[in-house]
Amino acid sequence: MSSASDQSPQTGDAETQAEAHISVRNLDMAYGDFLIQRDLNFTIRRGEIFIIMGGSGCGKSTLLKHLVGLMEPARGEVFYGSVDFWKASAVDQLRIKRQFGILYQSGALWSSMTLAENVGLPLGEFTDLEPAEIRRIASLKMALVGLAGFEDFYPSEISGGMRKRAGLARAMALDPDILFCDEPSAGLDPISSRLLDDLILQLRDSLGATIVIVTHELASIFAIADDSIFLDADTKTMIAHGDPRVLRDHSSDPKVRNFLLRGELGAQAATEVGGAAAG
Amino acid sequence: MAVDAYRDGAQIALGRLASGDISLRLTGDWRLRSGLPTPASFQELLRSQDRLQRLVVDASGLHHWDSGLLAFLVGVREACRARNVDFDAGDLPAGARRLLTLATAVPERQGARRSSAAHGFLTLVGDETVKLWRSFGGMLEFLGQATESFGKLIVFRARFRRSDFVEVVYECGAAALPIVTLISFLVGLILAFVGAIQLQQFGAQIYVADLVGVAMAREMGALMTAIIMAGRTGAAFAAQLGTMQVNEEIDALSTFGLSPMEFLVLPRMLALILMMPLLCLYADFMGILGGAVVGVGMLGLSVTQYVNETIHGVGLVDFAVGIVKSSVFGVLVALSGCMRGIQSGRSASAVGQAATSAVVTAIVLIIVTDGFFAVLTNVLGI
Ligand SMILES: Nc1ncnc2c1ncn2[C@@H]1O[C@H](COP(=O)(O)OP(=O)(O)OP(=O)(O)O)[C@@H](O)[C@H]1O
Ligand SMILES: [Mg+2]
C-alpha cells in the first residue's frame, strides 16, 4: 500500500482493514518548476486521525492544499473513495468538496463578516434552516471551541489564537466527513490546546469524521494520532509512515526519531559537531 | 609575514606557527560599525600561500567583536573548504565559536537558493511575451466565468449574500455622490467657460446652454463618472479581493464549494451596472447646473432663458446615449477591478499592483470603448 522507506512492523496489516477514505498515489507537488515533494504514497482510512509532520517549510501546508483540491498535482493522483479527484467532473468535484471542513493555517476567516456569520454562512448556503436556527447552531459551534459570547466580533477584533478557534468552528459548521486542520494548536495556550485535542477526538468518536492534521505539537500527536507521515525537506519526500508512537521508539531514521523526541538526539549531535569544530 | 593594515580597527595577518601551520592573526576591534576586512582580502592573502594544509585562528590580539567577526570567519571557512585547507578555530572566544557552529549547523537547503543569473535580451522578450499571452488567456477565462455566473443570476441560481450586495450598492452609489457632484459641476463650468469665450465673439452666448447640455449628456457625464468610479471603486474592488486572496479567504470560499465568482464578483458587477447609469444621470444635471452658473453669472442670461435653451437643445436621445454608455462602462470598471483582484498575487505589494492595474485597465478600456461608441453613433446617425 505504501512505498515509504520506513515501514514500522505494526502498521499496514495489524490495523483494522477500514475502508480507504483518501488515497494519495505517486504524488509530486511543485510551484511552477520548484519541486516541493515527490513520490508521496499513503492512504487515510475512514474515521482515523491522520497526522502530517515535518520540519518548517517542508511542504505540509502545500500537501494539504493538494488534499483539498486547491492545487493540482504536478504528477500523481488523489482519490476520495474510488474517485480520482482531478479526473472527476466539476459536479463530482463539488460534491466531494462539500464533505470537507478546512481550518487554514492563517484562519482565513471572511473579514467582512462577524464570527457568527462566518460560521453560519455554510449553514445558510447548504441547508434550509431558518436564520434564527442557523444563529443558534453557530453559537453552539463557537461555544464548542470556547468562543461563546464572541458571535458579533469581527475577525480583526480577536486574537490570533481565537481566530484559529473560530476557523475551526467554521470548519465544523456542516459536520464535515473529513476535517483538515493546518496547525490547529499553534498559538494556543496548553489548556486550550488540550481542549482542542479532546474536541477533535470527540468529533471523530461521535461523528465518525476522518481527521487530517498538520501539527508539530508532540503531546497532541501522541495523544490522538492513529497514523502519520513524516515529510522531509532535504530528500523532498516522505521518510516515515506509521503510528508516531512506534516511529518514536523504533524508526530506523534518526531524523524522524529526533523530531519525535523533541530534538534531544539533535542536541547531542550538535554538541558533537561543536566539539569537532573546536578540537 | 605579509601584514595587511586596514582601517583603525580590525586587522588580519598570516603568520607561521612553530608546528609549520599557518596562523590567521586577528587583531583590534571587530565590529560591524567600525568597518571590517572583506573575505576577498583574506583570499588575496591566502593566494600567496601554496601547499597550505591547515589554518589556525590566533585571536590573542582580538579586542571587542560582534557578528561582523562571524560573517568574516564564515567567509574564511568557505574559502578554506574550497581550497581543501583545514580550518581550526584556535583560541577564538568560546562565544564566537558557538555562534560559528550554529551558523553552519543547518546546511543550506538544496535547490532553495534562487539563481540570479542575468537573462539575455531575447529571454526577457520571450518571458514577457509568454506572460502577456497567459494574462490574455486569464482574461478570457475570467470573462467566461463572469458570463456563466451572470447566466446563473438570470435563472435565479446564483448564490450570494443580499447584504453584501446592498453594501456594495451603497459603496458605489450613495457614497460616490460627493465626488461625482464636485467633478461634474466643475466640468460643466469649464465647458461653459471654454464655450463662452468662443461664442461671445459672435454674440451667440445663449448657445452655451446647448453646448454644455449636449456635451454633458452624450459624453462627459458618462466619461467622468466612469473615470471617477474606476479610480474609486475599481481600485477598491481590486484591493478587497486581492487582500482576500492573501488571507486565503477566497480559498476558504471555494473549498466550501462556493464560487468566488458568484459570491464576490457578481454582487459587485451587478451593483456597478445598476448604479453607474444613475450616477451618470446625476452627473449630467450637475454639469448642466455648472454651465448655468457661468451662463447666468457671467454671460448675463436669465435662468429661464438658460433652462429653455437646454430643453430645446438637448434631446432624450442624447441622454440615452450617455446612459447606455455608462452601463457599459460600469461593466468594464467592475470587470477589471474584480479580475485584477482575483488574479492578485499573495503579498502586500501584489495587492498594490492589482489596484493600480485595475485602474489602468479600466481607463484604457473606457476610452477605447468610448471611441468605438463615437464611431457607432456617427454611423447610425444618432
Ligand atoms: N506560492 C508559493 N510559490 C512558490 N513557493 C512556495 C509558495 N508557497 C510555498 N512555497 C514553498 O513551498 C515550500 C513549502 O511550503 P509550505 O507552506 O507547504 O510549508 P509548511 O511545511 O507548511 O511549513 P510551516 O510548518 O512553516 O507552515 C516552502 O519551501 C516554500 O518556499
Ligand atoms: Mg504550513
CATH label of the domain that carries residue B88: 3.30.750.24
- Atom 9 of ligand 1, nearest CA residue: A62
Quick check: A178 pLDDT over 90?
yes
Quick check: A276 pLDDT over 60?
no
Question: ipTM exceeding 0.90?
Answer: no
Same domain, residue pair B185 and B74: no
Residue A245 within a domain: no
C-alpha dist (Å) from residue B78 to A112, B4, B66? 52, 21, 19
- Nearest-atom number in ligand 1 for the CA of A64 is 18
Predicted pLDDT at B83: 83
Predicted pLDDT at B90: 83
Given B64, B88, B105, the domain boundary residue is B105
Quick check: A195 pLDDT over 90?
no
Write the pLDDT tens digit of every residue in B132-163: 998 889 889 999 999 998 888 888 877 888 88
Quick check: A16 pLDDT over 70?
no
Instruction: Tell me the CA–centroid distance for residue B253 and ligand 2, in Å.
Output: 19
Quick check: B296 pLDDT over 60?
yes
- Whether A64 is in the pocket of ligand 1, judged by its Cβ within 6 Å, is no
* Domain that residue A143 falls in: 114-174
CB-CB under 8 Å, B248 with A68: no
Given B84, B105, B126, the domain boundary residue is B105
Q: What is the mean pLDDT of residues A12-19?
A: 53
* Domain that residue B21 falls in: 3-105
Q: A239: closest CA among A56, A2, A20?
A: A2
Residue A146 within a domain: yes
Burial B4-40 (b: 16+ CB within 10 A, else e): eeeeebbbbbbeeeeeebbbbbbbbbbbeeeebbebe
Better-predicted residue by pLDDT, B381 or B112: B381
Q: What is the mean pLDDT of residues B326-340?
A: 94
Interface test with B, best of A37, A61, A68, A110 (most B CBs within 10 A): A110
Residues of B in contact with A69 (CB under 8 A): 255
Same domain, residue pair B100 and B188: no
Predicted pLDDT at A119: 93
Indicate the pLDDT class of residue B307, thresholds 50, 70 and 90.
very high
A110 in contact with B, Cβ within 8 Å: yes
Write the pLDDT tens digit of every residue in A237-250: 899 999 999 998 88
With contact defined as beta carbons under 8 Å apart, do A164 and A188 qualify?
yes
Same domain, residue pair B189 and B294: yes
Q: Which ligand is nearest to the CA of A62?
A: 1
Residues of A in contact with B113 (CB under 8 A): none
Q: What is the mean pLDDT of residues A29-47?
A: 92
The gap between the terminal CA atoms of chain B, to the nearest Å, is 95
Overall domain count for chain A: 1
Same domain, residue pair B141 and B38: no
Residue A62 within a domain: no
Q: A111: closest CA among A157, A70, A143?
A: A157
Q: What's the mean pLDDT when you consider all of chain A? A: 84
A55 in contact with B, Cβ within 8 Å: no
Q: What's the mean pLDDT when you consider all of chain B? A: 88
Overall domain count for chain B: 2
Tell me the angle at which helices A115-126 and A160-171 cross, rounded to the nearest 10 degrees. Answer: 10
Residue B97 within a domain: yes
In a 13 Å sphere around the CA of A29, the CA atoms on its Cβ side amount to 25
Measured between alpha carbons, how far is B15 from A104 in angstroms, rounded to an integer? Answer: 59
Q: Helices marked H in B38-120 — which ranges?
A: 39-47, 67-82, 94-103
Q: What is the mean pLDDT of residues B341-365?
A: 94
Quick check: B341 pLDDT over 80?
yes
Residue found under cell 503531546: A219
Quick check: A266 pLDDT over 70?
no
Residue B46 within a domain: yes
CB-CB under 8 Å, A125 with B258: yes
Same domain, residue pair B148 and B19: no
% of chain A surpassing 90 pLDDT: 44
- Whether A31 is in the pocket of ligand 1, judged by its Cβ within 6 Å, is yes
Which of B109, B164, B248 lies closest to A106 in CB terms?
B248
Predicted pLDDT at B358: 95
Q: What is the mean pLDDT of residues A174-180?
A: 91
Predicted pLDDT at B110: 65
Which of A108, A126, A274 lies closest to B251 in CB terms?
A108
- Nearest-atom number in ligand 1 for the CA of B346 is 1
Same domain, residue pair B338 and B213: yes
- Backbone φ and ψ for B109, nearest 5 degrees, come out as -70, 130
Residue B121 within a domain: no
Residue A51 within a domain: no
Predicted pLDDT at A174: 87
Most confident of B12-21, B150-159, B371-380: B371-380
Which of B109, B159, B255 lies closest to A102 in CB terms?
B255
- Atom 31 of ligand 1, nearest CA residue: A57
Quick check: A168 pLDDT over 80?
yes
Residues of B in contact with A278 (CB under 8 A): 89, 97
Residue B290 within a domain: yes
Interface test with A, best of B249, B259, B346 (most A CBs within 10 A): B249
Predicted pLDDT at A271: 41
Predicted pLDDT at A3: 42
Q: What is the mean pLDDT of residues A119-138?
A: 89
Same domain, residue pair B226 and B171: yes
Residue B146 within a domain: yes
Indicate the pLDDT class of residue B40, thresholds 50, 70 and 90.
confident
Quick check: B310 pLDDT over 60?
yes
- Whether A59 is in the pocket of ligand 1, judged by its Cβ within 6 Å, is yes
Write the pLDDT tens digit of every residue in B88-135: 888 888 888 888 888 877 766 666 666 666 778 898 999 999 989 988
Q: Helices marked H in A57-99 — which ranges?
A: 60-67, 90-97
Given B105, B123, B153, the domain boundary residue is B105
Predicted pLDDT at A167: 93
Write the pLDDT tens digit of every residue in A53-84: 998 889 999 999 999 999 999 999 999 988 99
Predicted pLDDT at B187: 96
Residue A164 within a domain: yes
- Whether A216 is in the pocket of ligand 1, judged by its Cβ within 6 Å, is no
Residue found under cell 490547529: A184
Q: B103: closest CA among A264, A54, A274?
A: A274
% of chain A surpassing 70 pLDDT: 89
C-alpha dist (Å) from residue A253 to A159, A259, B17, B217? 39, 10, 44, 77
Residues of A in contact with B257 (CB under 8 A): 94, 97-98, 126
Write the pLDDT tens digit of every residue in B188-235: 999 999 999 889 889 888 999 999 999 999 999 999 999 999 999 999
Indicate the pLDDT class of residue A230, thresholds 50, 70 and 90.
very high
Quick check: B172 pLDDT over 50?
yes
Distance (Å) from the alpha carbon of B256 to chain A's nearest alpha carbon: 6
With contact defined as beta carbons under 8 Å apart, do A99 and A42 qualify?
no
Segment among A77-86, A180-189, B202-211, B366-375 with least mean pLDDT: A180-189
Q: Which amino acid is residue A238, in one-letter code? A: M
Same domain, residue pair B277 and B370: yes
Q: What is the mean pLDDT of residues A2-23?
A: 55
Residue A57 within a domain: no
Predicted pLDDT at B133: 93
pTM for the whole thing?
0.77
Indicate the pLDDT class of residue A272, thresholds 50, 70 and 90.
very low
Predicted pLDDT at A7: 40
Q: What is the mean pLDDT of residues B17-33?
A: 84
Better-predicted residue by pLDDT, B66 or B165: B165
- Nearest-atom number in ligand 1 for the CA of A58 is 21
Same domain, residue pair B33 and B175: no
Distance (Å) from the alpha carbon of B281 to chain A's nearest alpha carbon: 31
A125 in contact with B, Cβ within 8 Å: yes
With contact defined as beta carbons under 8 Å apart, do A54 and A61 qualify?
no
